[in-house]
Amino acid sequence: MMIRSTTNGVLKSYRYNLQRSSYTLNKAMNTVLTGRNFDTYAADPATAARCFQMRRSFQRANSQYSVSESVVRKYDQAWSALGSVVDDINNQKTSSAYQDILNSINDPTASGRNALGQSLTELAKGIVQTMNGRYGDNFIFAGADGLKVPFTWGEDGTLCYRGVPVDAAVPDVAMSNGAPLTLNDQGQYDPAGTNYLLAGEVKTISVDDYEAAVKAGNAPTVLRDTTGAGQLVDADGNISTTERYYLVLDTSETISKADYEQAEKDLAALDYLSKSEAKYADLGLGLQEDSETGEVIGSSVFNVALQGINFLGYGVDEDGDPKNIVSIISRMGQILLNCDATTGAFAAGERDEFQRLADKFESSAALLQDKHIELDTQADFLKSNQTQLESMAYTLEQQFLGIEDVDPAEAISQLSWAKYCYNTALKVGNGILSQSLMDYINI
């Protein structure tokens, strides 16, 4: 059976195949020019979806790397600043707080105690200035609020951290039946009073013993009610109407309810800043939120808030002395300034305080050095994590580029072959398309 090919059929088939050759040539040319396997999602949906996921991971890794780089530099600045403070405080080879305190304890150099006091005072101010250093526009040791200067001096010379006195402490007050014992302005027991009696050792005396002491002329000072009569308490000092005891007042010092509540707020604020306030950064640790509370899981992020009070200390100890090393140095400097300018003798009662603070200074200085080492460890972790992020970003980039980008040699070969096919098609067309009289007419 013979199939007859008509002229129109041949021309139609030729034009179709020529168009396909032209399309293949243009596609191969675009592939060489762009260097990509596909230009649209529709060209290869499965591969494009894989590349999109890898590019998204790559961008996230790059973002995390950028944040990590900033955090690493901040920690380097913090480590350097804290190292300077450690040297100023505890470097035994140069002029430091340690040497000044050691010299001030030495009686043969007692005449220089005023000068040493001035040196300690200036050193305390210098430490505050160092801890107020910036990285970029933010204060390094200001915690989560990097725009607010961390340490300031109050009008009365009190050191404050973000506006809160660093030596804040809730004073012990006398308690009665689980509540603070209230006094009026005259120091008398009054349920409506607005003053609290500072607690001392609870001492009571029976009414009979008190009356005997009155007759003997050596009666102690006892708590009285608003009528001036002795206020009855039980043996533990709790207000009572049936027991036959008086509360002995070793001290009549009081604190107003407002000041007491402010002290509670200040200490709570310092506790929050020290232990709870955080500024989280996504450094590639698997950022995740708690499905129930919606809060970020702490182990999946890095807290970049550096609280200055965590390095220098805050609050007071059981003796009522400050824990903050700057406050300790400042107080010791003031004690030395109070010494006699000629003999260097301590003011009454201040020698024992100075010696006590000297022991606590040594402990605080050791704690500060430990914090410095801890900061160095954190900086090393951040640098290691940054290296890992860089490696991850590089790996992801190589993966999606390996899928998206073409092999240049193969692409050029395809272009050469497409061009050869197209030129061959043109030559075949010259043989198929017969010349007519119109080809010879000179128009």
| Pairwise CA distance, residues 415 & 214, whole Å | 119
Judge contact between 180 and 196, C-beta under 8 A: yes
- Whose structure tokens read 């398309």? 433
Tell me the pLDDT tens digit for each residue of 390-414.
Answer: 888 888 777 776 676 676 777 778 7
Percent of the chain with pLDDT over 70: 89
Token pair of 256 as six digits: 């107003």
pLDDT of 428 over the 80 cut: no
Q: 246 pairs with which residues across the strands?
A: 205, 232
Q: How far is CA 330 from the centre of its chain?
A: 26
| Pairwise CA distance, residues 151 & 91, whole Å | 23
Task: Say how many C-beta atoms besides its own lie within 10 A of residue 377's C-beta.
Answer: 9
Structural domains of the chain, ranges and CATH numbers in brackets: 63-171+257-396 (1.20.1330.10), 175-251 (no CATH)
Tell me the pLDDT tens digit for each residue of 75-106.
Answer: 999 999 999 999 888 866 566 888 888 888 87
| Pairwise CA distance, residues 62 & 123, whole Å | 43
**Whole-Å CA distances, 435 to 13, 335, 372, 383, 422:** 19, 118, 94, 78, 21
Q: How far is CA 278 from the centre of its chain?
A: 6
| Pairwise CA distance, residues 432 & 443, whole Å | 24
Amino acid at 235: A
Amino acid at 197: L
| Pairwise CA distance, residues 433 & 116, whole Å | 111
pLDDT score recorded for residue 140: 95
Q: Where are the beta strands (DSSP E) in 211-338?
A: 232-233, 245-248, 254-256, 280-281, 302-303
| Pairwise CA distance, residues 91 & 123, whole Å | 13
Judge contact between 60 and 52, C-beta under 8 A: no
| Pairwise CA distance, residues 351 & 349, whole Å | 6
Amino acid at 212: A
Which residue from 361, 326, 331 is spatially nearest to 128, judged by alpha carbons? 326
Where is mean pLDDT largest: 1-5, 19-23, 73-77? 73-77
pLDDT score recorded for residue 83: 92
Tell me the pLDDT tens digit for each residue of 359-388.
Answer: 999 999 999 999 999 999 999 999 998 988
Q: Does an H or E element contain 138, and which?
A: strand 138-139
- Whose structure tokens read 């209230």? 182
- Which tops the pLDDT comparison, 341 or 405? 341
pLDDT score recorded for residue 5: 59
| Pairwise CA distance, residues 393 & 402, whole Å | 14
**Helical H runs in 185-315?**
207-216, 257-275, 308-312
Tell me the pLDDT tens digit for each residue of 44-60.
Answer: 677 777 777 877 887 88
Over residues 178-206, the mean pLDDT reads 89
Amino acid at 90: N
pTM for the whole structure: 0.77
416-439 in b/e form (b: 16+ CB < 10 A) is: eebeebbeebeeeeeeeeeeeeee
pLDDT of 1 over the 60 cut: no
Burial of 40 (0-12, 13-18, 19+ CB in 10 A): exposed
| Pairwise CA distance, residues 178 & 130, whole Å | 45
Token pair of 79 as six digits: 């480590």
| Pairwise CA distance, residues 141 & 326, whole Å | 15
| Pairwise CA distance, residues 395 & 271, whole Å | 44
Mean pLDDT in the chain? 85
Over residues 2-8, the mean pLDDT reads 60
